[in-house]
Structure 1
Amino acid sequence: MVMSTRLLLPGMVLAAATVIFPVAPAHADDPVMHHVKYTVSVAKPIYADIYYLDQEPAIFADYSHNPYQFVPNVKVDIAPGKPWTYELNLAKPDQWALVTASTGTEPGTPMFHCDLTVDGKVVVSNDGPKGVLCSIRHW
């Protein structure tokens, strides 16, 4: 059986084009990242206990199984005019951005204040005598 050149030529051209110009797999668009800043301040000096989200989990189950992997704890001296701040980028700050501060085992009433800023705009502000939480999501 003899094949016609007319039938082979289109197939050969298609095969050659695939080798020369491989088809790239489709990728979802990269998520838009938002700049997030946490600020914790006080009216009276205190050695504070602060927990804050420092990285976004891929899925909620990751967070659920080990929250401390994503929300570390720092103990810091905060005083009037000397706030604690932390900045990061998140794809979904409405779901994940959070900072909380408390007196822990320290005595006193420092009058905490926190701000959660997204892309340069304060989106949550809160006050508390011995502890405070700033989060867009209601935990």
Structure 2
Amino acid sequence: MRVRYAVLPVLVVAATSATAPATAQGPVMHHVRYTVTANAPSFADIYYRDTEPAVFSDYSHNPYEFSPRAEVDVAPDRPWVLETQLANPDLWAMVLVQSGETRMFDTAGFNCELAVDGVVVKTNSGPRGALCSIRNW
């Protein structure tokens, strides 16, 4: 029994020392870059996250406050790019593109890319839309 109690403080110290130190300057911010293209010229609605809620309930009560929409024309040579800073990109980084055209028109296919601190962490493609997010929504 004594061995279990003697090991427990060591595990607690090891677990707490592995976390990032808190600073008076706030959380470490990460550079997030969203890129959206289409295989042919298309009109797109793009939802993205460039700010984080203070608490999750703020997001759940009004997700559109934290997910603005851009209405843009995109093409292979005309990407839509947005760069921002997020403290928790694993939770909040997200870009969603969908066709801004009616269902009567064929769409060319959309591509998204999500990069954090210069490293591409997610890509996706789809005929009418695509979602790039680290978190599973």
1:89 corresponds to which of 64, 85, 99? 85
After TM superposition, where is structure 1 displaced by more than 4 Å over at least 4 residues in a row? none
Residues 114-137 of structure 1: CA deviation (Å, up to 9, x unaligned): 000000000001111110000000
- How many residues are matched? 112
What is the identity, as a one-letter code, of the residue corresponding to 1:46? S
Q: TM-score, normalised by structure 2?
A: 0.79
Shift of 1:45: 0.7
Shift of 1:109: 2.1
| Structure 1 runs not aligned, ≥5 long | 1-27
1:70 matches 2:47: no
Q: TM-score, normalised by structure 1?
A: 0.77
> Percent same amino acid among aligned pairs?
57
Larger of the two Rg values belongs to structure:
1
User: Alpha carbon RMSD of aligned pairs, Å?
Assistant: 1.0
| Structure 2 runs not aligned, ≥5 long | 1-21
1:108 matches 2:109: no
What is the identity, as a one-letter code, of the residue corresponding to 2:112? C
- Cα distance in 1 for residues equivalent to 2:41 and 2:79: 10
Q: Is the 8 A contact 2:34 2:114 kept in 1?
A: yes
Q: Is the 8 A contact 2:33 2:114 kept in 1?
A: yes
